Amino acid sequence: MANESVVNASNSEAQEMVDVVFDLNGSAVPASYPFILWSELLRCLPWLGDTGNIGVHPLRGSASGDNILLSRRTKLILRLPAERAAEAYSLSGQQLNIDGNVLIVGQARDRPLQAATTLHSYIVESKLGEVEFLADMKQKLQAMNIPCNLICDKYRKINDGNNSLSGFGLVLHDLKPAASLHIQRTGLGGSHYLGCGIFVPFKSISGLD
């Protein structure tokens, strides 16, 4: 109970965040897309660069060689301070040029964060090995007074020839509701704007990919 009360206190101080979900029309992007996508988002919404704790969810698609194939279900999702969400709606109708692949941004809607006992991040940025990475994550979560169990997912590296980042996917499970919302608001590690350290509800631990 003591840990949960500490999380509740820090949770009230954490910035209120919301996911702004955009429809997206496009066929494919290079696997190294996060760097170019962020540049294009800054071109369309320059204020993103001056706003703390901006997150850009990884685009969901099917890997095909050096590309990611997008489907009609693929969404562009920005995790933003709730007070800035309405400003992001002006991204609708814009065209994003991702290394010659044009993405047309469609309609937007807000999606509030939802507490879940299990959360997953596609990649948490780190230069450590797997054992050291898990130890580091446990230490960070303990410092945040968030008790939970951890499962390390795949090692991932993204490189566009000029920039690179690496890390591991991470599952957090057995989370209490307040802790779940807190970690979604704050994330873990750096480069949230490149898709790192962003946690979303996860239905099945056996479905890691």
DSSP 47: G
Residue 108 pLDDT more than 80? yes
pLDDT at 73: 93
Distance CA 6, CA 141 (A): 13
Mean pLDDT of 122-131: 96
Residue 97 pLDDT more than 90? yes
For the chain, give every domain's residue range.
2-13+114-207, 17-112
CB 118 within 8 A of CB 171: yes
Residue 4 pLDDT more than 60? no
Q: Could you say which architecture CATH assigns to the domain 2-13+114-207?
A: 2-Layer Sandwich (3.30)
Neighbouring residues of 33: CB distance < 8 A, sequence distance ≥ 6: 59, 68, 98, 99
Write the burial class of residue 101 (CB in 10 Å: 0-12 exposed, 13-18 middle, 19+ buried).
Answer: middle
End-to-end CA distance of the chain: 34
67 vs 207, residue with greater confidence? 67
- 71 dihedral zone (left: phi>0; alpha: psi -120 to 50; beta): beta
Assign a CATH topology to domain 17-112: Alpha-Beta Plaits (3.30.70)
Mean pLDDT of 104-128: 97
Per-residue model confidence as pLDDT tens digits over 156-196: 999 988 899 999 999 999 999 999 999 999 999 999 999 99
Distance CA 158, CA 165 (A): 5
Give yes or no on whether 2-13+114-207 and 17-112 have one common fold.
yes
pLDDT at 207: 46
Residue 175 DSSP SS3 = coil
